[in-house]
Structures are given as C-alpha cells and as structure tokens.
A and B are shown apart, each in its own frame.
Chain A
Amino acid sequence: MEDIWVFIEQDDGELEGSSLEVLSKARELGEKYGYMVSGVLFGSDVKKLVEEAGRYGADRIIYVDDENLRIYNAEVYAKAMVELARRYNPNTILFSATRNGRDLAGRVAIPFNSGLLAHVISLDFDEEGRLTGRVPGFGGSIAAIVKCIDSRPQLATVTPGVFEAKTFDRECKYVEEKLEVDLTPDKYLVISREKSPVKDISKSEKVVVAGQGTGGELDIVYELAKLLNADVGVTRPLADRGLAPRDIQIGSTGVNLKSKLVIVLGASGAPHFVSGIKDCDLVISINKDADAPIKEHSDYFVVADIFKVVPKLLELLRGGGDA
C-alpha cells in the first residue's frame, strides 16, 4: 500500500500543532483513497512526542532520534528527509507551511524532481492519483487549482489553520529509523536562539488587530484586548517596525484568523491584510478615514479617531456600561 507522509514538526520537544492538522487531513485522504498514513518525526528524546502525534490519525510514526535533530536545522533535516524518503518511496509528503516546513519542502523537492504545491488551502487527489490543492496568490484574492504531475513523491505545504486536528481512537505503530548519513551539520549551525512563548492566535475566538493608524502606540490596543478577553494581532507594517513579533502578523504573509469577532483598529485594509480576516464571523473596524478600503471588509465600520473613541469604549467596558 502506498504511503502519505506528513512531516511532524517539533522544536526542542514541543510539537507544532499545525502538523497535526495536516496529519488529520492525511487520515481523511488515506481513508478515501486507500493510502497508508505515516507521520515522520525528527528530534531528540522524542518518545513522548511520537506517542502524542500518534493520536492524530497516523497508521505509523516513523521517527529518527538524534541530538542533531533536537531543533530545526535546514541542512541536517533535509539530509534526513531525503534519505528516509529514498528508503520508503512514499507517494506523497505533506508539510505544514510553517517557516521550517516551507524551508524543508523546497529543498527536498530538488533531488526527487518533485512537484510541490505551496501553502495550499485545500487538498485532494484527482482521479489519476495526482495531488491537487488550491494555492492562493496575489495577496490572497485569487486561488489557483494546482496539481502535481509525474512526481514521486508529490509534495505540498499546507497553510496552517485550514484543517482541524482531530484525535482518532486507532492503533498506531512506532518505527524508529537509524540513518546512514552523518547528521553532524557542517555548513549550517544554529548557534543561539532567543524566543519567547507566543500564543497561536490562528484559533483565537476574539482578536483586536492594530494597524498603521495606531502609530505603533499599542497601549489602548492591549487594554481593549484585555477587557474583551481577546488576543492581539498586528498588520504587517507594525511587525516590520519590530513592534510585535511576526507570529501575530495577520494576513497572507502571516496568520489567517478564524475568529468569532475581530476588531480592526487603524488598518486601511490592504489586500494582503484583509485576506487574513476573511474567515472571521464579525468584523468591526475603526478608522478615521471614511473612505478606507477596510470598510468593504467590515460588518461595522466606525469612522472615528481610535484615540478618541476607544478610550470612551474602554470606560464603558470597565464601568459595566450601565452608568
């Protein structure tokens, strides 16, 4: 039976949630077309991770346990993936379109001369077994339906957040592999890291988004988010200025929100941004420019200076608003 592989990303012992979404989707495709579904996990001391990942729909988890694989390394991971794929000849390898997933997929495609679908938002096989997906382009306003042809393995990266991670009550096998290739990096060394925990806002129910119009003064944004029990996101220019991490940047080069409520403060509505809020239930935006394009993408469009109206709103939210 042919195999669909899903690269299960982990970082220093922490599983990347969006890989599990892809794994659950692979399970669905496996059932539909009769493929075996394998998760492929690289890491160091991965026993627990492997068992956790196994719950999301895999028939087996193939893993390599090596200190050199503890965190992502472009050189080492590509070597490992290429050797494993040569050994098993999977039909398809799927990656979550995280930074590392895209990085790895782009490199692995070359030695196999593989077709690679980029950050798809839907995934299927056609009648000839060709991997098929929707690929958004032009800032998310146009999607192309793209297929892999004459490729083994066929590859795709999957946009995080489009599929749901589900646990399955089924048996999963765990296969540890030893590689022949030397995994000691010799051209690419990660020498230090600086990171703080970030909340994955792609699944937040409520998000307050700060745009250029805030001028980078985010106090009222955080205050509003706190009172609403919401998370904070930003548009690209603010992330460019280093005022917020890229992980909370909304839009086609960042996170796509699926929130029940999003409040957009001072964002004009550039196409690359609005594609990130198109799946939200209710969009309220506040902008002092009555003609800002964000109007077209809002349920409620409030024409006002955010620095004047938001403080008043904060007061109401604090005071219970019945006064």
Chain B
Amino acid sequence: MVRVDFGNRERLAELMDREFYKCYQCGTCTVNCLLGDSLLVRRTIRHIQLGITPENGYIWKCISCNFCGAQCPSNVDIAHIFRSLKALKYEEKNYPEKVNEVLWNVYEEGNPLGSPKKERFTWLQKTGSSDEYDVLIYTCCMAAYDKHGQDILMRTAYILEKAGLKVGFFTDSSCCGDAVYHVGDDYFYEEVANQNAERLDGYKAEVILTVSPHVYHNLKNLYPRYNARISTPILHHTQYLYELLNEGRLKLGKLEARVTYHDPCYLARYNDIVEEPRGLLEAIDGIEFVEMPHSKRETLCCGGGGGGIWLENEEARDVTRRRLDEVAYIDTNVMATACPYCIRMFEDESKVLNMDLNVIDVTELLYEALVQSVKAST
C-alpha cells in the first residue's frame, strides 16, 4: 500500500499552486496527450497527489502544448504542473545535457541556438536609430537567425510602414527567455526578464510588437510574475495588423490561394487569439479559407513549444506529423500560421515527408496582397 507523503505533497502543492488537487483522475488528459503514452499524464498527477515526486526523464518530453489542459473537465492547469516539475528537476540538477547547452547559449550569445550575438541583426538593412517609434518590434531568436524568419520580420515592418507608422527594432534585445523558463531555471529567467524589461523601457514606443506567440506570452503574462514589468502595451503582430485592417489602413489586393490556418498553442490556447489571424486572411480577396479538423482552442501542435524545439525531442516529431496529416487531409498546399517555432517545425518535417507544402506567416500573405494593391494602383 502506498501511503501519502504529506510533507512532500505540500512542497509540491506550493510549487504547483495546488493545481493537482482539482484532478479527479478521469484520464482525459492521458487519452488526449499528443505525445501518446510518453507522458502518462494522469499517473504523474496521481503520484503527485500521493506526495511522490515523479522520476526524472520523461517529464522533459512535455512540449507544454496544453492540449490536455484544454480538454480537462476539471480545468486543471496541467502544463503548469509539468513546467513546475521541470523547475524541480532543474533545481535538483537532474536534466538532459542539452539543457545545459541551451542555458549557456542564452547567457553567452543571447539566444538558445548559440549563434553569435553580433550577428542577430546583420540582416537588418537600415538601423536608423530614433528615440521614438510607433511600433517597436521584438524579434524572436528563431526568426532573427533564420532566413525565412528575417523575411517575416522585414515584411511585417514593410506593412506597418505602408500604413504610415514609424517602425523600429529592439536591437539590444536578447532572448525573451522562453527556453530558460521551460527548462525550469527560475533565477536565470528572472534575470533575463528584468534585464529585457529594463532595456525595453529605454525605448519610447506606442506598442511593442512581436511575431512570436512565445515572446508575447513571456513578456505579457510571465514577466510580471517575476517582477519584470513593461509599461508599453505588448501585442502579437496579428492583433495589431487586425486593428489596422479594421481602421482601414491596410490596402489589400487580390490573391488566388487555398489557405488553411494553424493556430499556435500560445496564441490560441494560452491567449485566446484566434479571430484576428482569421480576420486578416479572410480580408484578402480571392483567398479560399479552409479549416482543419482541429482548430482554434482545440488546435493541434507543431511540437516545438515548452523548450521542445531546443531539446532534440524525437517524440515531438509525431506531434508535428499529426498536424501535417490534417493539412494533407484538407488538401491545401498553403498553411499560414503566426509563430516562428511552428514555421520551423512544419517546414523541416514537411521536407522530410516530401510534402508539397508552403508554410508561411499570415504576414507574408498580407504582404503579397499589399504588393498586389500597390501594383494595381500604379
């Protein structure tokens, strides 16, 4: 017979904001987990309820997509439980080797990839510094060091400038800390968050814009928990572009394409941003918009979140493929999304599968439509 370890349970309860007490062990989470049996979600929570700290290893596979949490009838914040476990294991120095490397990379080069810090903005043509911007863009590391990501950033800037806005890049940025948060290093994360918040406050801008739902979630929702407060409003680019559209400040031409939209977990499930990207796509004349079987808060996942993209998480590829199966099912070769992680994961995996699929950011379609309208008017 297993007896409850009350002391340890209390310790875990504090760490996890008592979330696991809400669980009545129905098993919906385990059934729905996108990683199959890798995580044994229900059993893990049961152990915690008994005051047993789960063993190390498999918890690092969690990609914090929170698909389980969205299905939970008792509304348990399961992703929070797993992230707390990672923090616990990190504290015990019980983590995959790759974690160590990712942390050094963020500390030394300001990005989890380990790419040279000084090359973060080499692609940026004009670096005209100014004290005041309408929009200040916070680049995601994934985008800043990737050709496709750079295009997305530049095109977003172009669209905003066409709408008459003064756009700048947050060039002394380092990683937002998403990877640090998800490997559980709270003390380092606190330092990263506060440093970024302090630097951001050195800029004058109406709004801070990011093309990454992860950067958005960190800045807006996680930083304040670590006493890092940013006074400027933070928006995801789809939100802001949607505002501009509604104000009639985007002139869009016609595009012929059959397009689906993949909701990034951190936009849809974590932040309830589902209508804005769809609104943008539907505003482009000629686009045939198709939904996948799973969408909005029920969206599937690219497999890259929760630090997964940095930790060589082989199981996560199954998650990526499951989403790509749905794309194939609805028969389209343009998948729009709004997250640099999603784009990288789907691009890489669709190439491996030899799929004829174009994974793009919503912004890129808007850019094309904008160019069409410019062409039409000249």
Contact = CB atoms under 8 A, between A and B. Distances in A.
B147 interface: yes
A289 B351 CA distance: 16
A305 B354 CA distance: 14
Most buried by B among A289, A290, A291, A305: A291
Question: Interface size for chain A: under 10, 10 to 19, 20 to 34, or 35 or more residues?
Answer: under 10
Contacts of A291: 119, 122-123, 147
A290 B122 CA distance: 13
A239 B197 CA distance: 40
Interface string B135-179: 000000000000100000000000000000000000000000000
A78 to B, nearest CB: 37
Contacts of B123: 291
A290 B147 CA distance: 8
Interface in A276-301: 289-291
Interface in B329-378: 351
Contacts of A290: 147
B347 to A, nearest CB: 12
Interface string B117-135: 0010011000000000000
A305 B147 CA distance: 14
Contacts of B351: 305
Contacts of A289: 147
A320 to B, nearest CB: 27
B113 to A, nearest CB: 11
Interface in B88-119: 119
B353 to A, nearest CB: 13
Nearest to A290: B147
B102 to A, nearest CB: 15
Contacts of B147: 289-291
Contacts of A305: 351
Contacts of B119: 291
Nearest to B147: A290
A289 B147 CA distance: 8
Interface string A256-293: 00000000000000000000000000000000011100
A305 B122 CA distance: 22
Nearest to A215: B312
Contacts of B122: 291
Nearest to A212: B114
Nearest to B116: A293
A268 B147 CA distance: 15
A242 to B, nearest CB: 13
Interface in A288-323: 289-291, 305
A160 B336 CA distance: 55
Interface string A69-91: 00000000000000000000000
A305 B347 CA distance: 13
Nearest to B150: A291
Most buried by A among B122, B123, B147, B351: B147
B114 to A, nearest CB: 9
A289 B115 CA distance: 12
A240 to B, nearest CB: 11
A291 B147 CA distance: 8
Nearest to A308: B351
A162 B119 CA distance: 33
A289 B119 CA distance: 13
A291 B123 CA distance: 9
B317 to A, nearest CB: 14
A289 B123 CA distance: 13
Nearest to A307: B352
Interface string B218-262: 000000000000000000000000000000000000000000000
Interface in A156-195: none
A159 B75 CA distance: 67
A289 B122 CA distance: 14
Nearest to A289: B147
A307 to B, nearest CB: 10
A76 to B, nearest CB: 39
A47 B351 CA distance: 63
A26 B290 CA distance: 78
A196 to B, nearest CB: 27
A101 B147 CA distance: 46
A267 to B, nearest CB: 14
A289 B114 CA distance: 14
A290 B145 CA distance: 11
B212 to A, nearest CB: 20
A54 B156 CA distance: 72
A217 to B, nearest CB: 13
A291 B148 CA distance: 12
A116 B63 CA distance: 55
A156 to B, nearest CB: 34
A31 to B, nearest CB: 47
A201 to B, nearest CB: 27
A267 B349 CA distance: 22
B120 to A, nearest CB: 12
A268 to B, nearest CB: 8
A299 to B, nearest CB: 22
B220 to A, nearest CB: 31
A291 B119 CA distance: 10
A290 B149 CA distance: 13
A289 B149 CA distance: 13
Counting from the closest, the 7 A-B pairs by CB-CB distance are: A290-B147, A291-B122, A291-B147, A291-B123, A291-B119, A289-B147, A305-B351
Interface of B: 119, 122-123, 147, 351
7 contacts: A289-B147, A290-B147, A291-B119, A291-B122, A291-B123, A291-B147, A305-B351
